[in-house]
Amino acid sequence: MKNRLKFVIFFMILVLTILIARLFHISVNKYDYYKQQAYNLTVHSEYIAPIRGMITDRYDNKLAVNKLGFAIYIKPNLRYKSRRDILKREVDFIVDIFDYLDKDKLIKTYLKKDSPYNHNYINIVNFIDYNDMLKNYTKFLSRANIKVKSTSKRFYPYKEVSSHVIGYVGKANNKDIQKNKTSKYTGYIGKNGLEKYYDAYLQDSVGKREIQVNALNIELKELAQTKPKKSNIRSTIDINLQSQISKMFNEENKSGVAIVMDISDGAILAAGSYPEYDLNTFVDGISHEEWNILRNDFDHPFINKIINGKYPPGSVIKMGVAASLLFNNITTKSETKDCNGSINVGKKQRTFRCWKDKKGHEKVDLTKALAQSCDVYFYENSLKLGINNMGKTLKRFGFGEYTGVDLWGESRGILPSRDWKKNRYKESWFMGDTVNTSIGQGYFLVTPLQVAKYMAVLINKKDITPHFIKAIDDEEIIFEQKEIFTKDEKQKLELLKEGMFGVANDKKGTAYWHLLNTPYQIGAKTGTAQVIGIPKDEKERMKEEELTYYHRSHAWMSTYGPFENPKYVVVVLVEHGGHGGSATGNIISNIYKYLDENKLPLLGNE
């Protein structure tokens, strides 16, 4: 028993001696070796922000690109008292070189981002111009606490041209980061326009570097790297055409919208919302002064009027109403109405006047009613048609619906009905409401893009999707047309073309004298959409241009051309422009001149 106890004690002493010897060997003899190993085996991950993909027009002219530069980072964990002097010294060094930087702001940025758990260098300067840094780059090589990395900043070469379509990028907020993890590492995200709609393609995924660092957080070597991914977006826009239209609106000091669309598939060649604004202003954050100027502008440059401006369509809607009359067998091409300048409607015999209310248009058929825009013709026939039938047809042309365009924030407008009025105003539908709707007034509101789609569907006789995307990298995006009309309905739609021909080419047409410089024959429809009810005596005393600016009617013209071989839809809206033909005719003619002189191929034929 005693021998066993001695053996156990001896064994324990032996094991303890071996452990002590081993510990001594590791902690003393091998101290330098294991210290070095500890320094060498710390692995960190660094994320590589993708360089955002480019946006180009249909001819590869660059609309949104990246301006190369450098970002400045400072080593983490310098916030504590013993290291505050180091932080101040490094910031002083940076500001001495780039004296336009705000020293206090840089320190504040660092302290806000620093943490005991952060091992990555902290970004305090987002962008230094490439050439500015190149002149001073060697000065940074000896600064162990500072790291300079290449970066890029979004740049828009055409500034304000097509600003509402292209969109811009801005710093991601917390909500953006929760929705899109990529923005956590890039710091920027598409805020509107194509930049926002295709953001997931333009900055697909971040890259990652696995690096080995020592205890001083100095990089020893790169272990692995995955490259960031991004795609380039090729749009349907022709930026030279777009620039010409912007120039016309600016020179004539007009606000409104202009849209040029491929009639066959809805590819948008130009779309401008005026006034525009310089996209570069928003990349680094807009100043309060600039923001207030834009925000308080009565012409609303921030609103994308192409898809979100809501206007009464006025008489441009009359082809859609005429189609409904024909579809429902209310009238025929040859049936006539007598226009004496007005009609009385309902029990109270409320008077609804034609725009030509002194003599009226006398005897009119469908073609003349469209060419000369006779209101009485549509008043009388709409009462036979009824709002339900009218609404069903107009909905088929896209009114009251989203167009499906590849931009966020589109409005559906308002296609009024009995149910809509009851839900909105708790009121019944009256005969006068039907009459007003038939000439694009009353509660009826549309977006300019809806009008462009309506014209394309009317002439093409198929449903199309307006769009700005041509290709993602080298992959073409195809948009199919959809059959929505019967053979009989298509034949009836063909009858409407004669009326639109008369608008532009008959001397009594509402646009004839304003389209004399158009290079070839086109089909058209003008519209003068009242924004406020004007008493009859005031209208008789004052011309449209004599009214207070914001009381003047909106001026529309929706067209297609060439008439014999339709290729394009061109729609122009001039806010408070007065009469449709006089306010829009010059712009329309010059757009068709450009299209003719440049012989633009349609996207489907490229």
User: Residues 214-219: what's their mean pLDDT?
Assistant: 65
pLDDT of 373 over the 70 cut: yes
| pLDDT tens per residue, range 422-470 | 999 999 999 999 999 999 999 999 999 999 999 999 999 999 999 999 9
Query: What are the residues whose beta carbons fall under 8 Å from the beta carbon of 339, sequence distance 6 or more?
Result: 354, 356, 360, 361, 362, 363, 364, 374, 375, 376, 377
Say which range, 143-147, 362-366, 398-402, 455-459, has the weakest mean pLDDT.
Answer: 143-147
**Number of C-beta neighbours around residue 601 at 10 A:** 11
Say which range, 245-254, 362-371, 534-543, has the weakest mean pLDDT.
Answer: 534-543
Looking at residue 6, its pLDDT comes to 67
User: Residues 147-156: what's their mean pLDDT?
Assistant: 91
* 447 within 8 A of 312, measured Cβ to Cβ: no
| pLDDT tens per residue, range 31-65 | 666 666 555 557 767 777 778 899 999 999 999 99
Looking at residue 81, its pLDDT comes to 61
Looking at residue 541, its pLDDT comes to 47
| pLDDT tens per residue, range 287-321 | 888 888 888 888 889 899 999 999 999 999 999 99
Looking at residue 5, its pLDDT comes to 67
pLDDT of 377 over the 90 cut: yes
Please report how the helices 375-385 and 431-438 are oriented relative to each other, as an axis angle in degrees rounded to 10: 130
CA distance 588 to 566: 15
> Regarding the domain delimited by 45-235, which CATH topology (the fold level of the hierarchy) does it fall under?
Penicillin-binding protein 2a (Domain 2) (3.90.1310)
Query: What are the residues whose beta carbons fall under 8 Å from the beta carbon of 240, sequence distance 6 or more?
Result: 61, 598
Looking at residue 600, its pLDDT comes to 60
CA distance 597 to 215: 69
| pLDDT tens per residue, range 571-599 | 999 999 888 889 999 999 999 999 999 87
Say which range, 119-123, 149-153, 461-465, 545-549, has the weakest mean pLDDT.
Answer: 545-549
User: Residues 67-83: what's their mean pLDDT?
Assistant: 80
Two tokens, residue 378: 């549509």
Answering whether pTM is above 0.85, one says yes
Amino acid at 507: K
User: Residues 83-94: what's their mean pLDDT?
Assistant: 87
Give the CA dihedral 279, 284, 290, 292, nearest 10 degrees.
100
pLDDT of 180 over the 80 cut: no
Nearest Cα to 73, choosing from 130, 141, 149? 149
pLDDT bin (cut points 50, 70, 90) of residue 476 is: very high
Domain with CATH 3.90.1310.10 in the chain: 45-235
* 466 within 8 A of 266, measured Cβ to Cβ: yes
Looking at residue 17, its pLDDT comes to 78
Looking at residue 346, its pLDDT comes to 83
pLDDT of 606 over the 70 cut: no
Element (H, E) at 83: helix 81-97
| pLDDT tens per residue, range 231-289 | 999 999 999 999 999 999 999 999 999 999 999 999 999 999 999 999 999 887 788 88
Domain with CATH 3.40.710.10 in the chain: 239-280+299-601
**Number of C-beta neighbours around residue 490 at 10 A:** 12
Q: Who has greater pLDDT, 211 or 327? A: 327
Looking at residue 33, its pLDDT comes to 64
CA distance 501 to 508: 11
Domain 239-280+299-601, CATH 3.40.30.10 — does that match? no
Cα Rg, the chain, nearest whole Å: 34
Calculate the CA 467 to chain-centre distance.
11
DSSP label at residue 314: G
CA distance 51 to 484: 43
CA distance 126 to 151: 8
Q: Across 118-127, 160-169, 531-540, which has the greatest mean pLDDT?
A: 160-169
Amino acid at 273: S
Two tokens, residue 349: 């015999």
